[in-house]
Amino acid sequence: MGDVLLFDASSLLLLLKLRKLKPLNNNYIHWLTIYEVVNAIWKEAFLIGSINAEEARKIVDVLRDIIDVVNVLSPHSHEHEILETAGKLGITAYDASYVVLAKDNGLALVTEDAELRDKARKMIKVTSISEIL
């Protein structure tokens, strides 16, 4: 693909599950992505039971290492643009923050959320993990 990428939580979680982390190198995540991925890991370990607590800790350790090889972006100072984008595209402010960060930093958004891909495509380049692997 050749683009510089912004990974959302759904795409980062899928890369962790696939154990394919190379696409993350020198690309970007939203700072909230870290906590959303930890929350998804917590849910799988403590609510669903699909992984045990030790496996969850190991995955979080890998996530901590990932933070050293990605650039972490903040939506701070983009709040008005996020609100306007959410209204314009009919998406949540949370999703709009990814769109705005991608647009303002010249990044392609990587998401597994098909609805977000369809709506965000009106403003930015979007893709999914299957398209970049």
Candidate CATH numbers 3.30.450.40, 3.40.50.1010, 1.10.8.60, 3.30.230.70; the one for domain 5-131: 3.40.50.1010
- For the entire predicted model, the pTM comes to 0.95
- pLDDT score of 1: 55
Question: What does the block give as tokens for 124?
Answer: 């930015």
pLDDT one-digit tens code per residue, 70-125: 999 999 999 999 999 999 999 999 999 999 999 999 999 999 999 999 999 999 99
Sequence ranges of the domains in the chain: 5-131
Higher pLDDT, 43 or 2: 43
Cβ(15)–Cβ(33) below 8 Å: no
